Structures are given as structure tokens and as C-alpha cells.
Structure 1
Amino acid sequence: MKDSTVFESGMGELGLGIEGVLRRAARSLIEQAIETEVSVLLEEFSAVRMVNGRQAVVRNGHLPEREIMTALGPVPVKVPKVRDRSGSGIKFNSALVPPYVRKSRTVAATVPWLYLHGVSSGHMQEALSILLGEEAKGLSPAALGRLKAQWTEEHAAWQRRSLEGKRYAYWWVDGVYTNLRAEEDPRICLLVIIGVTADGNKELVSVSDGLRESKASWLEILRDLQARGLEAAPLLAIGDGAMGFWAALDEAYPKTRQQRCWVHKTANILNELPKSKQGKAKAALQEIWMAESRKAAEKALEIFVRNYQAKYPKAVAKLEKDRAELLAFYDYPAEHWRHIRTTNAIESTFATVRHRTSRTKNCVSRNSFIGLGFKMLQQAEKRWIAIFHPEKVRDLFAGVKFTDGLPANETLPGDQQDAA
């Protein structure tokens, strides 16, 4: 039950039933793992040649697709075939899906399996055996190593893709620390950018590793994006206030405006208050970022300052420090406010990454670390939903100015706006 709860809270934007998500991802990962098995077999016999020099053991299509019945329902699987031209009787039998197997033993703990139950061979075997039973433990370490290497290669190729002509309205930016420890640096974390395209869809912009607080790490990422053709600056970047990202952004894309995450800011402010005061203070902060106009928000902010300045100056200082950046969202479409006031778009995805990597406490290589993180984020990306009213993104790119969430020529007169 605990795993299911974490899964649902982390993937709330999917709009797809959990059983459907599990079945779809199960098929993808099983077939990928089987492909690594057959690749290992072909490599093992690559030196065996016919008299004419042709390779003796080669691929020969696939067996008919069959369904493996699980507690989640049927999962369709295709198993490759090989042909032994030498007549020596070499065959490929998957350790994951042996011939005629049509029913798994248990999938009671499929959620932690789905998020790639670790990066070590032992953990991966354990995870796959949850779905397919003890047979999965026959999957060789060589096949598992090839699978992880494939993820790393996929990430490297993805990081080289061209970004020419790309434009992003919004970026959500964050660094996620996990319990995984990279051999080269135990403080390493994933640095991730998620963007909103011109059609309102969300997509991964960058997944890299580095130090979250480091301007140098973020600047290297931004310079790389520029080198691959991303010349147009995003209109607005959303993140917390503790990152070296902001200094890097000012250098690489100085025209991009900044929005501080209200969830992070609220937590930081409440940390400076006694618990007995936190409930009331949280409600007062909500009055600011839920206000219908910038003027009303400024008024609510001044009330907070007046009420807490004398006894809790540190809390007030944290609020006033980023005043402009906390209220930047008022200059963007009101339909987008729910998306851009916080980094929830990226935090919900990171919830699954943190849950997944918290189960793997061993030291890993840098490549395994980033390959695992990339694969999880890539799986999540497939099911992200577009932002509300994507047509407003086109308005932004067309140069339409917004005031209090409305196009400037549609804003209400002052008295009406205050009344609203």
C-alpha cells in the first residue's frame, strides 16, 4: 500500500490508470531486457563462422507474441528467435520468459520494480523476478550490464540532439539529490530542466549531473543548450531560490524572467517560525500568492510583514528578499498561474525518482547514476499532460503583454479589479 501511495502521488499528472501504466511500462522493460539477452548470446557466438565466412548464429525474427498473465492483467511480450546455420543446435531461450511460460508468480510489489529496482545486477534480478518469478534470476550479469550501458548510450545520444528552432515559454528547473552515491563525488545530483513548448506540451530539455548549488554546473548546461541551437531564451524560469542556476541564467539568458517557487518559499519561511505560529502564517502567505491581482498580493504581503517583522525578522527577510521574483507570475496568463507559481511540475516527477533511488544505497558509477535517472524521467515524460489553455503560449510568443493574468487591453479598471 505504501508503494502504491507514493506512485500515485508522484505521477498525479499522468491521467492514466495505475494498472495501465504498469502494464505498458512492464512490456517495454521486459522486451528491452530480452533484447539484451539475445545480444549477449549473439556476441558469445560471433566468432563462429560458416565455410563461406558468414556468421553462423544470427537473428531470425520473433516468436508469435504471447501474453504473460499477471495480477495486473495480460502483458503482451515478443521474444526474438535466432538461427544456427551451422546445425549445431544453438537456440535462444530467454531466462526472463522461458518457452510456454504464460503466468507470473506474483506482481504484488510491481511498483518498486517498475522504477528499476536499483542499478546493481543483484537488485535488478530481484526486481524482475517480482514480475516473472524465479526464472528471471537466470538473467546473466552480462545482460544486465548491457542493459544499463544501453540506458547510458541513449542518454548520451539524447544530450547531443539538435535544438535549433526550439522555443520554450516556461522552464521548471531543479536539482534532485538521492541516496545514490556516485564514485567520483558523493554530493552529485541530477540537474533537470523541463520546458513548455509552443504547443503547450511539457518536455525534458536537459538531464545532467553536477552540484545543485554550483553556478558552474548550471552554466555548463546552459552553454551546451546554446551550442546545440537553443538561441531563443525561455520567457520565464521557475525554481527555488537556493540554486546557482539563477546566476548562470543571468549570464546565459539574461532576458529570461524569474519566478520563485511558492512551495519552497513557504517552507523556508515557516522554518523560521515556531510551530504554534506556522498554521496562521501559512494561511497569510497563501493570501499573497492566491490574490487575484498584483495590487492585492502586494497588500497581503505588507500585512504579513507588519504582523511578523518585530518578532520574526528572519522569516520576513526571506519573503522580502525575492519579492519581485515571487510575483512575476502576474505578468503571464491567469490560466497558467497554477503551473508557474510552483515547481510542482518537476517535483511530482522527482518524487518517483527519489522513491526509486532511495532503495539503492550502494555506490554507483557516474554513468549508471545518470542513465538510471534519465530513463525514469523519460518514462514519466511520455505521460505528462499539456498545460491548461495552450493557445495562451502562442499569445506570449506573439508578444501579447499580460497584466494580472489578462491581456493588457482586457484588464479591468482599478475599482472593478479590486472588487474582483
Structure 2
Amino acid sequence: MSSSIPNSDFANQLENMIREFVKEKLELIMKEEIKNFLEVEQKEIHNSRNGYYTRSLDTKYGKIDQLHVPRDRNGDFQTQLFEPYQRCDGWLEEAIIKMYQSGMSTREIGQFIERILGSSYSPTTISNITDATIEDIRKWQQLPLNKRYSVLYLDGLYIKVRRDTYAKEVIYIVLGVNEDGYREILGFYVGGQESALGWQEILQDLYQRGVKEVLLGVFDGLNGLEEAFKSVYPKADVQRCVVHKVRNTLNKVRKKDQIEVAEDLKLIYRATTKEAAIQAFHEFEKK
């Protein structure tokens, strides 16, 4: 399922939602991992589940707290998820996101699972875990979307992808704010360099999945993106993302003044009324 949390500051919420998504999927894989460890790997040994313990995990999107790691009564089970993660910082969360993106084949997902869990398990266990993961991926990708969203946020994050060599590719991330004010990740898409054409294809995919009406699109100033958005949702308003506006502003500020300027800008874009925002802007202008 896609995550949903109350509407608040977009910059933090983007990373928060990705962390929650990765946490949820890691826990799902570990549940399947211990299930097959007990039923396949140790089927001749008297053993059973014994709840879980919690640990934290640092990721490129911030720290995951309260990650539930299952355990067994004999103390024999050790999840294999964290070994590849410790060898290659940031690889695990990127692997999760890539598995849940649109367009990844069953064979590729199987290869990802095998790479994540290594050679510690039998082919039967790897196959069972792969099947359970694929089922969850299909459910997530086919989850019915709302017909109408108040806001669609579009943002691109870059990750390193190994093909013949290592290269950076963009993760297109679409966040929707529904009419009740809750945000949910509508989809991950990975590929190439960020472009207006890439975004247009993603928006067309969302339209085909049921997102027929959008009131407001929020994104950065990528060349051609507004036209691409309007080609799919011609009645929607568009707005430059505040986060990108602030970043562009701070690029023109001396290093020693950036923190103070960023704090003063918050008084403008976090104002509760238009009048208060205008007043805060005039104070900012004078300072």
C-alpha cells in the first residue's frame, strides 16, 4: 500500500514518506524471510517465531527508527538484509525503490531479491520470498487511485545505478494530496535524466490509472514541465515548489547569511493569511 500522512512541509515529508515506504517493505521481506527460514531451511528443527526486536537504520533519506526485525526462539535466525547494506551505503533503499517502480520485470525482481539475500538460502526460499514480494509489488502498482487530487507534487531524486558502468539516473516521484488533505506516494519511476517528456509519460500513466482531475501541480522550473503537465491536466493551476524557490534564493546569498535568510523566508511562506505573508515579505525586504 502507498503511505499516507497528514499534509505538512513538503521538503521533510518527501524524505519521511520514502523512509516509511522503505521501512514497510523491508519489514515485509523480513517476515517472509523468517517464515521460510523456519518452514524450509529448518523444517526438521523444533523452532518458532519469538516476536521481534527494533533497530535503527541510517539511509540516504534519513534514519529509519523502530525497524521491526523478527526473531526466533532458538536464536538461530539472522536477517540477511543488512549485510549487503553495510557493504554498500545506500544500496538497500535504492534496491527497494527500484523493485517497486513501474516497468520492472519478474526476472529482474528475482535477481534483486537474490542479490539482496545473497547465497545464504536455498533456491526454494529465494523463490518463495520473490513470489511474496512480487505479489506485494503488483498490489502496490495496481492500487486504485482517486479520481481527483487537490495537489500533485512532482520531484526527481538522483540515484547511482549500475549497468555496464555506474551512472546517475532520476527517480521520478509523484506525491498526491487527496481531498481530505492526506499525502500518498502515487508512483516511483526510474530512468535516464529528468526531462519534461519523461514527466509527461508518467502523468499520462497516472491519468490512465484513474487520476482524472487535479487542482494544482507543484514542481520545479524544469524546462517544458509546465507545458507537459498542462497537456494532461489542462484545467489545473501550477505553482513553483517553495523548496526549489528557497534553494534558488539561497544560491544568491552569502554563505554566512544563508541560515538567517532561510529562517526569515519561512515567515513568508508559512504565513497563515495572504496579508500576513505580504507583511512578512515587506519586513524581509527592509532587512
* Structures share fold, TM-score greater than 0.5: yes
State the shift of 1:203 in Å.
2.5
Match of 2:189 in 1: 208
* Corresponding residue SS for 2:265: helix
Q: Distance in 2 between matches of 1:210 and 1:184?
A: 15
Answering whether residue 215 of structure 2 is matched by residue 235 of structure 1, we say: yes
Counterpart position of 2:239: 259
Q: Please state which structure has a larger fraction of its residues in strand.
A: 2
User: Structure 1 residues 217 and 39 mapped into 2: Cα distance closer, same or farther (>3 Å)?
Assistant: farther
> After superposition, what is the alpha-carbon deviation per residue over 1:165-214, rounded to whole angstroms, capped at 9, x for unaligned?
62212222211211233569934222121212334443232222234631
2:270 is equivalent to residue 298 of structure 1: no
Deviation at 1:289, TM superposition (A): 1.4
Shift in Å, 1:65: 9.0
For the Cα contact (< 8 Å) 1:121–1:141, is it kept in 2? no
Matches within 5 A, 1:357-376: none
TM-score, normalising length: structure 1: 0.43
- Confirm whether residue 66 of structure 1 aligns to residue 59 of structure 2: no
Structure with higher Rg: it is 1
- The answer for the alignment partner of 2:120 in structure 1 is 138
**Distance 1:251-1:288 versus aligned 2 partners, 3 A rule:** same
| Structure 2 residue identity aligned to 1:124 | L
Change (3 A) 1:196 1:162: same
| Selected match of 2:268 from 288, 296, 301 | 288
2:117 corresponds to which residue? 124
Distance in 1 between the 2:51 and 2:39 partners?
A: 26
User: What is residue 75 of structure 2 aligned with on the other side?
Assistant: 103
- Cα-Cα RMSD: 4.9
Q: For CA contacts below 8 A with separation 6 or more, give which structure has more relative contact order.
A: 1
The percentage of counterpart residues that share the same residue type is 26
Q: TM-score, normalised by structure 2?
A: 0.59
Give me the whole-angstrom Cα distance separating, in 1, the residues matched to 2:40 and 2:47: 22
Residues 151 and 216, structure 2, Cα contact 8 Å, conserved in 1: yes
Q: CA deviation at 1:297?
A: 2.5
Correspondence 1:353-392 to 2 at 5 A:
none
Matches of 1:221 and 1:240 in 2, distance apart?
Answer: 16
Aligned pair count reads 237
For 2:253, which of 264, 268, 273 is the aligned residue? 273
- C-alpha distance in 2 between matches for 1:205 and 1:179: 22
Aligned residue type for 1:196? V
Q: Which runs of 5+ in 1 are unaligned?
A: 1-8, 16-20, 42-62, 78-96, 126-136, 308-420
Structure 1 residues 25 and 220, CA gap change in structure 2 (3 angstroms): closer
AA paired with 1:191? Y
Distance (Å, rounded) in 1 between the aligned partners of 2:199 and 2:17: 28
Instruction: Map Cα deviations across residues 272-323 of structure 1 (whole Å, 9 max, x no partner).
Output: 222133234223322321334323423544565676xxxxxxxxxxxxxxxx
Match status 1:219 vs 2:200: yes
CA distance in 2, matches of 1:13, 1:123: 19
SS of match in other structure, 2:28: helix
One-letter identity of the residue aligned with 1:238: V
Retained in 2: the 8 A contact 1:70–1:104?
Answer: no
Q: CA 1:290/1:272 → structure 2, altered by over 3 Å: closer, same or farther?
A: same
Q: Residues 31, 288 of structure 1: CA spacing in aligned structure 2 closer, same or farther, 3 A cutoff?
A: closer
Whole-Å separation in 2 of the counterparts to 1:38 and 1:244: 54
